[in-house]
Structure 1
Amino acid sequence: MKKNYFILEFILLAIIFSSASFKKDHEQNNYSVNYTKGLDEFSSKQQSLLNNISNSDFNSTVEKQKIREQINLVRNSLKHMDFWFRYLEPVSYKKINGPLPVEWETEVFEKFETPYRREGAGYTLASQYLDEDIILKDSVFNLIKSAVEASKAYSADSITVHLKTFDHFYLCNRLFLLNLAAIYTTGFECPETERIIPELRIMLINIYSTYLAFNESFKDKALTETYMSLYKEAITFVNKQSEDYEKFDHYTFIKDFINPLFAHNQNLIQHYKVVSKSYVDYSLSKNATSIFSKSLYKGQNAKGVFVRVNDEKVLAEIDKVGKLLFYDPILSGNNLRSCASCHKPDQYFTDTTTASSLQFDGKNFLPRNSPSLINAGYNHLIMTDGKHISLQDQTKAVITNSLELACDEKDILKKILSCSEYKIALKNLLKCTPQIPEISIEHVTSAITLYYSKFSKHDSPFDKAINENSALAHDAKQGFNVFMGKAQCATCHFAPQFNGVKPPYVGSEFEVLGVPKDTSFKQLSDDKGRYLVFQSKETLNAFRTGTIRNSEKTKPYMHNGVFTSLEQVIDFYDAGGGAGRGLTVTNQTLSSDSLHLSKEEKSNLLAFMKSLTEKVEFEKTPESLPKSKIKNLNNRKVRGEY
């Protein structure tokens, strides 16, 4: 009897565990079903669109309009799946909703391999193409067919396997929130501006259903009630906004809803110990709890060979050496020029006095404006043409460039080590670099980059308003809304650094603006830009998108310093760039149409840009430089002579 009792108990427990297991599998299917149902609906609408394109007459205005309307319906379905698509397979996404027909824009992996051609296709490009004067059915068909083929990747086991665990959800959600702050409301990939807000509403509601399905399936890893409540408030806020994207309150949307939601999601990523295996997360920090935190993402390693050093005392020693070297003309071939000759620390580490700095010969001028070194580390590629993959490479190139500091690499070390102060300090630091046991040029460049990079850690009034609820002037708020909306600035300058690095912050974008040689607008600048580094018709005259931060303090503007005021820059964009001013720029990525900005909108835009001026705490110039055993080196002056 006792034996039978244990058998019955065992069977009962088995049934209970089996039931619990079945229930768990069933609950997990709620989330999987949400994905599968959305994907099936999206695929079905795509195929229907493809069939209708085949049977349509594009000479008929009515039939062409029907295709446009059907594309919009497919875009609505895409807004449900965008949550997963962008994160789980970003390369395929470019063929579903790519912003450009061909991209050479770089990913973080260019640091290790040559960039490759990325074919863009899908709904953004199809919508834009329908606005052309002459439309070929085959061209429309192929843009959509590419999207249909790319969508098949998302039903593959390698993708759907992620739905069985919770980790990917929080990483998808993080990217979703970052995109809500940076691109979804700007028109970056929605050519019909009247659809931006309606699509946003559809997306927010669809993702809420995804949240509910996830919470049912992963109850022990669910989004909190606080998060869900705030998200519903965000939906209510958007629903009350005008459908006119020019009137959308981006500032309140991001400050009161998206940024706090991002903080909640980041805290849950840490709390649930979320694990990532995707390059999409390469640069992002799990610890940053604000989209506008300076630690949100990392584009560069400012420490260089000292990357393993975390001891504050040792870092202070490296910083001390780096500062002296930055001001020391010993790095130049004639001992008369220093880093500070072109990157003046009291001028936000640029040269505001001239369109471009003097060359080594002291007579001619460099072909490009000296960029500010502040926030340089928030780019994956360095220089306006993206020539260098690290801050240290860029520093070394400047030192050895015949037009800049013109010093031979062997001579650099010989001169530096002739100074006992440098020699002792660098020898002491060798213990920090077991991979490089002897003093090298890498130690020199790494000390310099560590020194100037510390000035990139400061906030602006805009950041304090977003992060700390401090007051921000009304005109700056309105200017931010103009920046994100009507002026279309945010389609190239992405939050939070307002440079060309967009979520997930693993690449640097390049744009063709049609920058003129001078303000007469009679000739395009003869600088080929990115083309000099990587030859392609798309890269001709393309330049890396720089940051808007500190622009108030870093004139002149553009790669050649052609504009001396922000007002000129705003007018240039308002007119449609070089093409809008009559220059022939066949590959201009900036729209050549006028933005029709009013005087007040320009004034507000300027106020916002000024609100991004960071409160940088500059240091005093060194009073003297290390003495050398080589007597003629002891005549050198702090900062150099020109």
Structure 2
Amino acid sequence: MIVYFYKNIKTHQLLVCLFLMVLCGCKKDKATTNISPIKQYQSTYLKHLNASINYLDTIVSSTSRTKFQENYVKARQHFKHIEAVFAFVDKENYKTINAPNILKIEEEDATDIKINNPFGFQVIEEAVYEDTIDTVQLKKIVLKTKNRLQLIAENTNLRLKDYHVLWVIRDQIARIALTSISGFDSPVLQSLKESSLAYQGVLDVLEVFEGKFKSKTVYQNFKSEIEASQNLLNSSDFETFDRYSFIKNHAHKQLELLQAIKKDWSVDFPLELAFNNDMTSLFSNTTFNLDFFADLPHADTLQLQKQQLGKVLFNDTRLSKDNSMSCASCHHKNKAFTDGLKVFPNQKRNSPTLLYAAYQQSFFYDGRTGNLEGQIVDVVNNKAEFHSDLDNLTKVIKTDSTYVNTFNTLFRDGVNQQNIRNSIAAYVRSLGDFNSKFDLNINGKENTLTTQEINGFNLFMGKAKCATCHFPPVFNGTVPPIFTETELELLGVPKDTINNVIDTDLGRYNVFNTPQRQHFFKTPTIRNISKTAPYMHNGVYTTLEQVMTFYNNGGGAGLKMDLEYQTLPSDSLQLSNREIKAVISFMKTLDDR
């Protein structure tokens, strides 16, 4: 009896223990299920971020070139895994951590100028692959980068709503297509495999949201497409990679599938960033949200009428003091809104195209104004241009009853300085339709590009390094996919084609007198480039062949100029004559129709 009773007690205890184990397990599973997807992802995010930090730390304790390079590559790979989210939630730190190896200059105004030496992955990459490694300097840069990432890790608390997640994925698709595959942020390795890792980061995000999909087909289609892109990137060579086909057949497909996810999740966006929320192409007149680039709201029910009014004002010579000049005097429609001159009489610089001027964050070659409305003020006040002022401009317009009636119809407060500038700016913002031969082909509306033209695009985006300054889709200096910064560059443009002497125009320096900004100029668009000769800020080159030779030889450095802060790579690009012709043939496909 005692033995039987003891056995029953043991059995009972065992059953109770098993019940408690099951109960606890259920509670644990339920607790895990209750963790939000973004919190689940945060553990993955921190795992890669801390791994990157640890490998950077290992560089500091390494002593050999091989270990420097091995640990750098591993640190970089872990960073690429989380790039999509990192770049979205901490844009400023991302720009610093992933910045090019050039002096970082911030000029808010004449009393607030910051000059900082660069650090981060690109700087480390160049340092560890130098013929002779400066170990002391390398470790300083690595330590600074590690410490910044450590601070970020300690303060990480990801809070992303569903629409944020779609923006994260969309931006990374665009970042890979427009910058990563060009080698923009990998100056030595130029590895397509990094882009594959960046895609893996997208999958990491998406996988924790798998339970949100109503349609498993939508989830699987997107995942399969990303995996196909990864396989292609992993098996391709940097110089021979067909970037044209990749963007056309993969990046654009991913954007279309992202719209399917948006529908499946029933996502409503509270606002639009640089990209329109329904965009499915990187090269379309529906790609961008123009309001993002403007200080004033762009789109309203009267926008078309405002553009038409702006066009009339744009061509009206009465706006200048002596009635001799209009905006159209320097910007002819049949010349892609340039004037065909080296420099317009009494002007300092070549007249740039106004086509696609809306898609930038600074204006004039020296970037001295931050919006189109400000540019208009500068032209009006300039003694060598309108030689007038806004008060006089307003008085002139008020003497014309047609103008007065139109302004009263379109604006609640009629004719005033702001509405005049807004109208002209509205017209300028309407210039550029993304309807070139290249646009129509990459969007599948035509199949007319030649093999040479496609090869030219692939060279432009790869070996020739053109796209590391002239970023698609606008092919200007505004950096995708965030589009908050328009770059200035020091190329070393010569004064003439005879003497290898830099042009005397100091460019950006004249705005704030920052010595390190001498001869820096804004990167213009190359769309419609066949119509905008002569080229460069001083019109020194009359042909695209001359321009390509200048770049191929290393810019000013190739002309034996000693330019400490030149941003253009000083080494020869090693482009053959055949390759140069291909790049030029591609650029000509960017003419609007």
TM-score normalized by the length of structure 2: 0.88
> Deviation of residue 591 (structure 1)?
0.8
How much does 1:275 deviate?
7.4
Tell me the equivalent position of 1:207: 201
Aligned to 2:254: 261
Matches for 1:115-154 after TM superposition, within 5 Å: 116-117=114-115, 119-130=117-128, 132=130, 135-154=133-152
Shift of 1:309: 6.2
Aligned-residue offset at 1:316: 4.2
2 CA distance for matches of 1:100 and 1:608? 29
Matched residue of 1:371: which SS? coil
* Matched residue, 1:545: 523
- Structure 2 residue aligned with 1:197, among 192, 196, 200? 192
Cα distance in 1, alignment partners of residues 106 and 269 from structure 2: 24
Cα deviation for residue 44 of structure 1 reads 2.0
- Determine whether 1:373 maps to 2:366: no
Picking from 534, 542, 545, the partner of 1:564 is 542
Query: Conserved in 1, the CA contact under 8 Å of 2:456 and 2:579?
Result: yes
> Partners in 2 of 1:176 and 1:189 — Cα distance?
14
Task: Give the corresponding residue for 2:279.
Answer: 288
Secondary structure class of the residue paired with 1:104: strand
Q: State whether residues 102 and 567 of structure 2, in contact with CA within 8 Å, keep that contact through their aligned partners in structure 1.
A: no
Establish whether residue 440 from structure 1 lines up as the match of residue 416 from structure 2: yes
Residues 1:35 and 2:45 are matched in the alignment: yes
Q: Distance in 2 between matches of 1:138 and 1:418?
A: 70
How many Å separate the matches in 1 of 2:581 and 2:174? 28
How has the CA–CA distance of structure 1 residues 325 and 153 changed in structure 2, closer, same or farther, with 3 Å as cutoff? same
1:430 aligns with 411
1:482 and 1:552 map into 2 onto residues whose CA distance is 18
Match of 1:511 among 489, 499, 507: 489
Distance 2:499 2:262 in 1: 51
Deviation per residue, 1:102-125 (Å, 9 max, x gap): 32378xxx79x9775555312221
Give the aligned partner of residue 388 of structure 2.
407
Write the mapping of 1:458-537 to structure 2, written as runs, cut at 5 A.
458-471=434-447, 472-502=449-479, 503-537=481-515
Query: Aligned pair 1:322/2:316, yes or no?
Result: no
2-side partners of 1:547 and 1:512: how far apart? 16
Q: 2:241 aligns with which of 232, 236, 248?
A: 248
For the pair 1:573 / 2:568, whether they are aligned, the reply is: no
- 1:606 pairs with one of 580, 584, 587: 584
Q: What is the aligned partner in structure 1 of residue 8 from structure 2?
A: none
Query: C-alpha distance in 1, partners of 2:227/2:250?
Result: 10
**Contact 1:416/1:423 (<8 A) preserved:** yes
Matched, 1:417 2:412: no
How many residues in Structure 1 have an aligned counterpart in Structure 2? 568
**2:300 alignment partner AA:** N
Consecutive unaligned residues in structure 2, runs of 5 or more: 1-22
Distance (Å, rounded) in 1 between the aligned partners of 2:435 and 2:171: 23
Task: Describe the superposition over 1:475-512 as per-residue Cα deviations: whole angstroms up to 9, x where unpaired.
Answer: 11100110011100011111111111122111111111
User: Which of 369, 388, 404 is equivalent to 2:369?
Assistant: 388
In the other structure, the counterpart of 2:431 is 455
Identity %: 29
Alignment of structure 1 residues 15-414 onto 2, 5 Å: 20-25=30-35, 30-52=40-62, 56=63, 63-104=64-105, 116-117=114-115, 119-130=117-128, 132=130, 135-157=133-155, 159-162=156-159, 165-193=161-189, 195-204=190-199, 206-207=200-201, 210-211=204-205, 213-216=207-210, 218-219=212-213, 224-242=219-237, 245-269=238-262, 272=265, 282-298=273-289, 307=297, 310-311=300-301, 314-352=302-340, 354-359=341-346, 366-414=347-395
Deviations 1:507-564 (A, max 9, x none): 1111110011111243111111112223434322111111111111111111111111
* Residue pair 1:301, 1:390 contacting (<8 A) in 2 also: no
Q: Given the superposition, is the C-alpha separation of residues 318 and 538 from structure 1 closer, same or farther in structure 2, using an over 3 Å criterion?
A: same
Distance 1:538 1:29, change over 3 A: same
1:283 CA drift (Å): 2.6
Q: Deviations over 1:63-106 (max 9, x none)?
A: 23431232222222222122222222132234433213432378
Per the TM alignment, residue 269 of structure 1 is displaced from its structure 2 partner at its CA by 4.3
Query: Which moves more between the two structures, 477-486 or 336-345?
Result: 336-345
The residue type equivalent to 2:444 in the other structure is E
**Relative to 1, partners in 2 of residues 1:219 and 1:430: Cα closer, same or farther, differing over 3 Å?**
closer
Q: Is the 8 A contact 1:476 1:607 kept in 2?
A: yes
Q: Contact 2:283 / 2:434 at 8 angstroms: preserved in 1?
A: no
For the residues of structure 1 that align with 2:52 and 2:292, how far apart are their CA atoms? Answer: 41
Write the letter of the residue equivalent to 1:540.
Answer: Q
The answer to whether the Cα contact below 8 Å between 2:298 and 2:426 also exists between their aligned partners in 1 is no
| Rounded Cα–Cα distance in structure 2 between residues aligned with 1:28 and 1:297 | 28
Structure 1: runs of 5+ lacking an equivalent:
1-12, 57-62, 360-365, 432-436, 616-642
Could you tell me whether the CA contact under 8 Å between 2:56 and 2:71 is conserved in 1?
Answer: no
Q: CA RMSD in A?
A: 3.1
Please report how far the alpha carbon of residue 608 of structure 1 lies from its aligned counterpart in structure 2 after TM superposition: 0.8
Instruction: Give the CA deviation at 1:289.
Output: 1.8
Residue 177 of structure 1 aligns to which amino acid in structure 2?
Answer: I
Whole-angstrom distance in 1 between the partners of 2:468 and 2:293: 28
Q: Which moved more, 1:16-25 or 1:73-82?
A: 16-25
CA distance in 2, matches of 1:26, 1:450: 44
Amino acid at match of 1:294: N
Worse overlay, 84-93 or 489-498: 84-93
Residues 594-613 of structure 1: per-residue CA shift (max 9 Å, x gap): 11111111111011101111
1:583 corresponds to which residue?
Answer: 561
Flag the 1:300–1:537 CA change in 2: closer, same or farther, 3 A.
Answer: farther
Question: Letter of the aligned partner of 2:345 in structure 1?
Answer: L
Q: The residue matched to 2:411 in structure 1 has which SS?
A: helix
Give the structure-1-normalised TM-score: 0.81
Question: 2:211 and 2:47 mapped to 1: Cα distance?
Answer: 16
SS at match of 2:59: helix
Q: How big is the shift at 1:184? A: 1.1
Structure 2 counterpart SS, 1:160: coil
Structure-2 separation of matches of 1:302 and 1:83? 23
Q: Which moved more, 1:318-327 or 1:250-259?
A: 318-327
Query: Could you list the per-position Cα deviations for residues 384-440 of structure 1 after superposition, in whole angstroms to 9, with x for gaps in the alignment?
Result: 111111111111211221011112333222222212212222233332xxxxx3521
Note if contact 1:283-1:505 (Cα within 8 Å) is conserved in structure 2: yes
Please state whether the residue corresponding to 2:208 is helix, strand or coil: helix
Show the counterpart of 2:20.
Answer: none
> What secondary structure is seen at the aligned counterpart in 1 of 2:430?
helix
Q: 1:97–1:123: 8 Å Cα contact kept in structure 2?
A: yes
Q: Using the alignment, how far apart are the partners of 1:89 and 1:301 within structure 2?
A: 19
Task: Please tell me the residue identity of whatever aligns with 2:239.
Answer: E
For CA contacts below 8 A with separation 6 or more, give which structure has more relative contact order.
Answer: 1
**CA 99–421 in structure 1, closer or farther in 2 if over 3 Å, else same:** same
Cα shift at 1:473: 1.7
Letter in 1 for 2:343: S
Q: Which residue of 2 aligns with 1:624?
A: none
Report deviation, 1:236.
2.5
CA contact (8 A) 1:300 1:391 kept: no
Q: Distance in 2 between matches of 1:270 and 1:554?
A: 43
Determine the C-alpha separation between the residues in 2 that align with 1:590 and 1:44.
Answer: 33
